[in-house]
Structure 1
Amino acid sequence: MPLLETLPVGVDTAQWPVWSTTARLVVTDPSTLPTARLLVEGELRAVELACSRFREDSELRRVRLAGGRPVRVSALLAELIRAALDAAERSDGDLDPTVGTALCDLGYDKTFSELPVRSAPMRLVVAPAPGWRQVMLDGRDLTVPPGVLLDLGATAKAYTADRCARLVAERCDTGVLVSLGGDIATAGPAPEGGWQVLVQDGPAEPPSQVALTAGTALATSSTISRRWHTDGRSLHHILDPRTCQPAAPVWRTVSVAAPRCLYANTLTTASLIRGHGAPDWLRSLGVPARLVAANGEVLTMGGWPA
């Protein structure tokens, strides 16, 4: 996951656990840090209550009980659903929010920190995803096929990083970096020399240090993190919606820099699913990207480091 390598002089930071990962907040004006943290924590709570598939009281879980009938949802959940559907369209269906039921069937039915190291026997053959085009959003009226549990894990974290960075920059009048696991968003002025970020998904993985300019985002998706074991098989959370099985581990990690974290994360996750076809696709988009193959070889393109 990307990490802030060094703190430039004059900035301040806060860090805390959230969503089975780590939230990190960095501001260029240290006097704004307490207010900025309150803003970010409030946004994280609101997003969790809106779209967690692990909380029985989340709005998303209540939508499932509608049995296919339209439900009027909050403005926040509508935004999160719209972001997921836009990502599905951008990726030609590689990111599909209707894989939630399949993830549960494969054993990912609790927040990751609560999963046992080795789960009890589960079904490894799961039903195909209904497909994102079956999800209808008309303003704030959401219709989900009967029995379908949506999973916004592929987009909600990146969307929230973007949202938090903009909010802090606007409310606190400061430069800010928000990191939620592998998703980084920045807003406002950057420190001198840019935001120095170390891209490394684990201590044994090949590192790359990049300097993010003001307003640049960075996302990293991985097939080596968020793994669990079922019936002697090691699984990861990036599902190919066409098979509802974990994507083949052609790439250990993929990182992309872009103006928005949501867009960057859409590309990194889709690249893991596309496997060998990912490099040509990313080159056609002209984005700075870094791919680490299953054997540890590193491929960069588009002017990486960003």
Structure 2
Amino acid sequence: MPLVETLPVGADTAQWNVWGTVARVVVFSRAAAASAAGEAAAIVRAELAAVDEACSRFREDSELRAACRAGRPVVVTPLLAALVGAALTAARETAGDVDPTVGGALCGLGYDRDFAALTGRPVAPAVRVFPTPDWRSVRLRGRELTVPDGVLLDLGATAKAFAADRAAARVARELGVGVLVALGGDIATAGPAPDGGWRVLVRDGPEDPSCAVRLPAGAALATSSTVSRTWGRPGELLHHIVDPRTGRPATRVWRTVSVAATSCLRANTLTTAAIVRGHGAPALLGRAPSRLVTPSLEVLRRGGWPS
């Protein structure tokens, strides 16, 4: 999980647990040493709560679950329309590698509750999982959303990154400060950056290879992993990135993939698609600054990613 390596002068931070990961907010201001981290954290918490209420797959009362149960066109809030729109755009841009219709497949694999709740619980018997419906079966026209009968949407591949971008932009706009918002492996920045940029340590776990990068103001970074969210039984270790073509976890060609981009949503779309694409990931990523780590901990750098 990427971490802010050093806290710049004039910055302060707040962090808490959310969505089975750690949320961290770092606020920077050249104007004064006094921190706005508390106010920034309150803004980020409010944004995350709104996103959770709109699109959580684990809440029966979420707006998304209601839309999936309807089986007919429903008018949704602007926030949910934006979240679903982002997911469908990611699907289109990756030729279906990032597909929001994998919710049923994830439930069949046992990922049917918040990830933190999976830890230590008895593993259900193996369930045969079929390929997911096609993302093109979902219709979004303005705020009118139609989800086919039997389809459960999962926006996990895009919603967290969307939330990081949205929260960072709101903090910078309302408080007039530079801010970095990290939600697990998803990092968004907004407003002015410290001198030399935001210094971030990219490393999935204590024993993984690490790399320090500097993000300029407004840049974002995402890391997708096949080892950080795993569950299962002896002989069958599952992870949360599903290949929509099989309904099963993507083959572990890559341990982690990290990408820097102008938005966290774009970065996470590419990292998720790269995990699904497997050996085709380098061609998919093209010139995007990226870092791919193999299961044997070999590192492939592309697009000017620093060594």
TM tier, smaller:
over 0.9
On the 8 A contact 1:11/1:27 being kept in 2, the answer is yes
CA displacement 1:77-122 (0-9 Å, x = unmatched): 0000000000001111000000001100110001011014464333
In structure 1, the gaps of 5 or more residues are: none
> Residue 168 of structure 1 aligns with which residue?
171
The alpha-carbon deviation at position 281 of structure 1 amounts to 2.1
On the 8 A contact 1:107/1:119 being kept in 2, the answer is no
Secondary structure at the residue paired with 1:65?
Answer: helix
> Residue 57 of structure 1 aligns with which residue?
61
Secondary structure at the residue paired with 1:13?
Answer: strand
| Equivalent-residue separation in structure 2 for 1:85 and 1:221 (angstroms) | 19
On the 8 A contact 1:122/1:231 being kept in 2, the answer is no
CA RMSD of superposed structures (Å)? 1.3
| Equivalent-residue separation in structure 2 for 1:10 and 1:31 (angstroms) | 8
| Equivalent-residue separation in structure 2 for 1:167 and 1:206 (angstroms) | 33
AA matched with 1:302: G
> Residue 38 of structure 1 aligns with which residue?
42
- Of 186-195 and 118-127, more deviation after overlay is shown by 118-127
The alpha-carbon deviation at position 126 of structure 1 amounts to 1.1
Q: Aligned runs of 1:65-76 on 2, under 5 Å?
A: 65-66=69-70, 68-76=71-79
Secondary structure at the residue paired with 1:17?
Answer: strand
Q: Aligned runs of 1:79-118 on 2, under 5 Å?
A: 79-117=82-120
| Equivalent-residue separation in structure 1 for 2:226 and 2:163 (angstroms) | 22
On the 8 A contact 2:91/2:99 being kept in 1, the answer is yes
CA displacement 1:216-247 (0-9 Å, x = unmatched): 10000000011000474110000000001000
The alpha-carbon deviation at position 270 of structure 1 amounts to 0.4
The alpha-carbon deviation at position 146 of structure 1 amounts to 0.4
Secondary structure at the residue paired with 2:214?
Answer: strand
| Equivalent-residue separation in structure 1 for 2:94 and 2:245 (angstroms) | 13
> Residue 236 of structure 1 aligns with which residue?
239
Change (3 A) 1:295 1:231: closer
| Equivalent-residue separation in structure 2 for 1:233 and 1:101 (angstroms) | 19
The alpha-carbon deviation at position 57 of structure 1 amounts to 1.0
> Residue 26 of structure 1 aligns with which residue?
26
Q: Aligned runs of 1:128-167 on 2, under 5 Å?
A: 128-167=131-170
> Residue 12 of structure 1 aligns with which residue?
12
CA displacement 1:23-49 (0-9 Å, x = unmatched): 000111343222211111100000000
| Equivalent-residue separation in structure 2 for 1:24 and 1:270 (angstroms) | 25
Secondary structure at the residue paired with 2:35?
Answer: helix
State the TM-score, normalizing by the size of structure 1: 0.96
On the 8 A contact 1:118/1:229 being kept in 2, the answer is no
AA matched with 2:266: Y
On the 8 A contact 2:16/2:22 being kept in 1, the answer is yes
**Within the alignment, does 1:297 sit opposite 2:307 as a pair?**
no
Residue correspondences, number: 303
CA displacement 1:129-183 (0-9 Å, x = unmatched): 1111000001111000101110000000001100011111111111110000000
In structure 2, the gaps of 5 or more residues are: none
On the 8 A contact 2:12/2:36 being kept in 1, the answer is no
Tell me which stretches of 4 or more aligned residues in structure 1 moved more than 3 Å.
Answer: 116-124
- Of 274-283 and 90-99, more deviation after overlay is shown by 274-283
| Equivalent-residue separation in structure 1 for 2:166 and 2:100 (angstroms) | 20
CA displacement 1:162-208 (0-9 Å, x = unmatched): 00111111111111100000000001110012101000001010000
State the TM-score, normalizing by the size of structure 2: 0.96
Secondary structure at the residue paired with 1:27?
Answer: strand
**Of 44, 51, 56, which aligns to 1:47?**
51
The alpha-carbon deviation at position 128 of structure 1 amounts to 1.8
> Residue 251 of structure 1 aligns with which residue?
254
Secondary structure at the residue paired with 2:266?
Answer: helix
The alpha-carbon deviation at position 289 of structure 1 amounts to 0.3
**Within the alignment, does 1:207 sit opposite 2:210 as a pair?**
yes
AA matched with 2:10: G
| Equivalent-residue separation in structure 2 for 1:106 and 1:281 (angstroms) | 27
AA matched with 2:20: S
Secondary structure at the residue paired with 1:186?
Answer: strand
Secondary structure at the residue paired with 1:251?
Answer: coil
On the 8 A contact 2:225/2:256 being kept in 1, the answer is yes
